[in-house]
């Protein structure tokens, strides 16, 4: 995979041991301007429609506090939930049974991104939202070295996994899936192992759910999230940072 910050990861490795060989490719900056988070109405999640899914636009969105989701077959919506669901790596809850599951599976990173995003996009899943536009855009980001997957395997093949965007101390989780018991949870445990438990590191889970809360997720106000991602990006951390976007046009 070209430009992977996580290339060469093994189950016993840490992120600090694998970065540096290949750094992500920095795409052209976006020309779209996302409204500052402080200008948004509290409690509103769905903020705008428009723009594009070019790499610079996506990275500019994540560093500003937004993420995309299709709203229909033609239009992309931009969201900034208030409150926002996050997991601080140090707060991850690993039960005794989950520890046993961790030992039962094997884990790889960035070896089967296409399979992971395809499984997450399975139209048979409830509330499915990942369409071909999203798959193409995030596969492009993966090829540039910004989108990453964690794959969980057993003797029958791919058992679960997750994918998301890594920038500085921020990992923006996009989706996860499981085909066997605890497989997606095991992927999350290994993500935390990779990121470390630095005080400024956060995992964005967009909206919190009872399932995620059982693993340590919490919610913060949009204003608090803005401060958290600023700190995560400023810290640098184990993942490369993306430079500020050039803003010329406002997302309609």
Percent of the chain with pLDDT over 90: 73
**Mean pLDDT value of segment 41-54:** 96
Residue-wise pLDDT for 153-208, tens only, equals 999 999 999 999 999 899 999 999 999 999 999 999 999 999 988 888 999 999 99
DSSP letter for each residue of the chain = -TT-TTTT--TT--GGGTTTSSPPPPPPPP-EEPPPGGGSPTT--EEEE-----HHHHHHHHHHT-EEEESSSS-EEEE--SSEEEE-GGG----HHHHHHHHHSEEEESS-HHHHHHHHT-TTSTT----HHHHHHHHHHHHHT-EEEEEEEETTEEEEEEEEEEETTEEEEEEEEESSTTHHHHHHHHHHHHH---TT-EEEEES--HHHHHTT-EEE-HHHHHHHHHHHHHT-TTS---PPPP--EE--
- What is the model's pLDDT at position 155? 96
Percent of the chain with pLDDT over 70: 85
- What is the model's pLDDT at position 23? 79
More reliable by pLDDT, 245 or 96? 96
More reliable by pLDDT, 218 or 13? 218
CATH of 32-81, one of 3.30.70.3550, 3.40.50.300, 1.10.357.10, 3.30.360.10: 3.30.70.3550
CATH architecture of 15-24+84-234: 3-Layer(aba) Sandwich (3.40)
Burial of 42 (C-beta count, 10 Å sphere; 0-12/13-18/19+): exposed
Delimit the CATH 3.40.630.70 region(s) of the chain.
15-24+84-234
Tokens of 51: 């723009």
Is the pLDDT at 11 greater than 90, yes or no?
no
Radius of gyration of the chain (CA): 17
Delimit the CATH 3.30.70.3550 region(s) of the chain.
32-81
Q: What's the chain's average pLDDT?
A: 86
Residue-wise pLDDT for 87-110, tens only, equals 999 999 999 999 999 999 999 999
**Mean pLDDT value of segment 24-50:** 93
Confidence band for 55, pLDDT divided at 50, 70 and 90: very high
Tokens of 65: 């506090």
């Amino acid at each position: 995979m070209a430009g992977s910050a996580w290339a060469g990861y093994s189950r016993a490795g840490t992120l600090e041991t694998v970065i540096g060989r290949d750094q992500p490719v920095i795409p052209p900056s976006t020309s779209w301007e996302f409204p500052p988070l402080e200008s948004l109405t509290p409690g509103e999640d769905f903020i705008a429609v428009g723009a594009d899914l070019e790499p610079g636009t996506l990275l500019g969105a994540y560093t500003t506090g937004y993420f995309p989701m299709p709203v229909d077959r033609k239009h992309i919506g931009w969201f900034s939930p208030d409150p926002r669901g996050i997991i601080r790596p140090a707060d991850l809850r690993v039960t005794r049974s989950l520890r046993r599951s961790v030992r039962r599976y094997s884990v790889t990173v960035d070896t089967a991104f296409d399979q992971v995003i395809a499984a997450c996009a399975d139209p048979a899943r409830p509330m499915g939202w990942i369409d071909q536009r999203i798959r193409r855009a995030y596969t492009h980001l993966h090829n540039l070295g910004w989108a990453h997957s964690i794959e969980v395997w057993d003797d029958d093949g791919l058992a679960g996994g997750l994918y998301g965007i890594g920038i500085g101390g921020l990992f923006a989780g996009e989706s996860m899936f499981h085909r066997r018991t605890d497989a997606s949870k095991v992927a999350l445990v290994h993500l935390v192992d990779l990121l470390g438990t630095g005080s400024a590191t956060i995992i964005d889970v967009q909206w919190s759910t009872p399932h995620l809360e059982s693993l340590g997720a919490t919610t913060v106000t949009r204003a608090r999230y803005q401060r958290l991602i600023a700190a995560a990006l400023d810290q640098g951390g184990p993942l490369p940072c993306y430079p500020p976007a050039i803003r010329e046009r406002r997302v309609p």
